Amino acid sequence: MYDMKSLAELVGQLEDQLTACMRCGMCQAVCPLYAETGREADVARGKLALLDGLVGQMFDDPKGVQERLMRCLLCGSCAANCPSGVKVMDIFLKARAILAGYMAMNPLKQAIFRQLLVRPAFFNIFLEWGAKLQGVFAKPVNDLLGTSCARFMSPLTARHFKTLAVTPFHRMVQSLSTRPGSSGLRVGFFVGCLVDKIFPEVGQAILKSLLHHQVGIFLPADQGCCGMPALSSGDLQTFNELVRHNVALFAAEEFDFLVTGCATCTSTIKQIWPLLAQGLTAVELEQVYAIASRAMDISQFLVNSLAIAPAQRGTGYEEKYVTYHDPCHLKKLLGVSRQPRALLLAGSAHRFKEMAEADRCCGCGGSFNIHYYDVSQAIGKRKRDSIVRSQCSVVATSCPACMMQISDLLSHAREPIQVKHVIEIYAESLGQ
């Protein structure tokens, strides 16, 4: 916990950012949470107004302030559409850290973050045991989507979820260090927790695509989480430890770009690491900035750096549709939307069909889905309906968390639509 002097200093750091908000209400028009609840307290303008009196509010009702700050998808819709350029996500993440420091963290979260997440090797072993035992608690419910549900009454009872992979990606490929071929390029590959532990096929598709184009790969062993789950809960300590751990790994060898298959990991490394990492040495900070400047989504790398272009359609062109969902952290925070579509047109045997409101939030929001599942699902139904109306047989996206949310939505509705990562579809076109 912070002392009051430190707390006041942290609050003071938000003042300049808060004064930029004109309370115009533009965020209200684009906030998916507000569209569902109609509550002013759920929109960015209402939260920013709350933060103006943060210190006093914390004395009077700290839990109430925290509850209102946590009721946010962190989707970036407000920031992307703010005429004043208010860095809303930056402000909310700092405010959550202040509240967590003042109130002390939930003991369960603290144990998960500070005993498991910061120790990647132990975290991997822990979840590998979980994968072996999960059949006792979960049963398959949809073979097409690969979703399961809880066998017994639990907090997971209402969910259709993706189970842990029997073999995580780090067991398939522990480490890799290859030189560039004809491409002349070498990348660092940041795997990310969800790709490693739930969607290892996405990691395999990334490697297949890079090797096909003769790109050198640096994949260090013992990678940790990007830190966003801890940071979104206000745990700066865990976030800083994970940044330091990962930076040390990737600073060991030279590469041209750092690629990921996770929109959240990409935006966190590129934007949040340089902004909020604390307690690092001058050398570590320099490494953070260097890595952040080279971080790219895998589709962005393939299209921008290797000039992957739409394929000429032949006789094998299927009369089926694939559509695309824009992850919030990729389009709204990084401005990447053309490249995933270009990759689909280069690799899919299906016709591409744009869905309505392709960039509208799916309702996941990471931990938001855990704390406010009913609201998350209500927001997601609009996305599900857009997917179904596109008449697609496959919906593609670039974010593993979005894949989990959309799989849950489609599984509950019993819609015969597959959910895949863009890079999986592209890799399938490359043959064996």
pLDDT-based confidence at residue 312 (cuts at 50, 70, 90): low
pLDDT in tens, 135-167: 898 999 999 999 999 887 666 668 999 999 999
Do β-strands 147-150 and 138-142 pair in parallel, antiparallel, or remain unpaired?
antiparallel
pTM of the predicted protein model = 0.92
- Is pLDDT at 317 greater than 60 in this prediction? no
Residue 423 has pLDDT above 90, yes or no: yes
Q: Token pair for residue 235? A: 């745990």
What's the mean pLDDT in 123-132? 94
Q: Which of 65-69, 221-225, 321-325 has the lowest mean pLDDT?
A: 65-69
User: For residues 369-390, b (16+ Cβ closer than 10 Å) or e, as one string?
Assistant: beebbebbbbbbebbbebbbeb
**Which residues touch 335 (CB under 8 Å, ≥6 apart)?**
none
The least confident of 67-76, 307-316, 352-361 is: 307-316
- The whole-number pLDDT of residue 318 equals 63
Identify the pLDDT of residue 299: 97
Which carries the bigger pLDDT value, residue 81 or residue 63?
Answer: 81
User: Which pLDDT belongs to residue 154?
Assistant: 62
Element (H, E) at 379: helix 373-389
Residues 397, 400, 404, 406, Cα dihedral to 10°: -10
Domain boundaries, the chain: 4-104, 308-428
Fold of 308-428: Rossmann fold (3.40.50)
258 φ, ψ (degrees, to nearest 5): -110, 120
pLDDT of res. 316 = 54
More confident residue, 47 or 241: 241
pLDDT score at 100: 77
How far, rounded to the nearest angstrom, does the alpha carbon of residue 258 sit from its chain's CA centroid? Answer: 16
More confident residue, 423 or 115: 423
pLDDT at 209 over 80: yes
CA distance 173 to 204: 9
In whole angstroms, give the CA distance from residue 212 to residue 306: 11
Q: How many C-beta atoms lie closer than 10 Å to residue 301's C-beta?
A: 26
| Distance in angstroms (rounded) separating the CA atoms of residues 424 and 287 | 31
- pLDDT tens, 5-46? 545 555 666 666 667 777 787 888 889 998 898 888 788 877
Output the average pLDDT for the chain.
Answer: 88
| Mean pLDDT value across residues 341-363 | 92
Of the listed ranges 157-161, 299-303, 385-389, the least confidently predicted one is 157-161
Residue 199 scores a pLDDT above 80: yes
Q: What is the DSSP letter of 42?
A: G
Integer Cα distance of 352 and 343 in angstroms: 11
What's residue 3's pLDDT?
A: 47
CATH classification (class only), 4-104: mainly alpha
Q: Please enumerate in sequence order all residues whose Cβ is within 8 A of that of 231, keeping only pairs 6 or more positions apart, or say none.
A: 93, 96, 97, 238, 239, 268, 272, 276
In this predicted model, which residue has the larger pLDDT, 309 or 273? Answer: 273
pLDDT band at 53 (very low <50, low <70, confident <90, very high): low
Q: Is the pLDDT of residue 82 over 80?
A: yes
**Which residues, in sequence order, are bridge partners of residue 217?**
187
Tally of CB atoms within 10 A around 286:
13
Task: Please tell me what DSSP assigns to residue 314.
Answer: -
Query: Does 417 score more than 90 pLDDT?
Result: yes
Other residues' Cβ atoms within 10 Å of the Cβ of residue 57: 16
pLDDT band at 125 (very low <50, low <70, confident <90, very high): very high
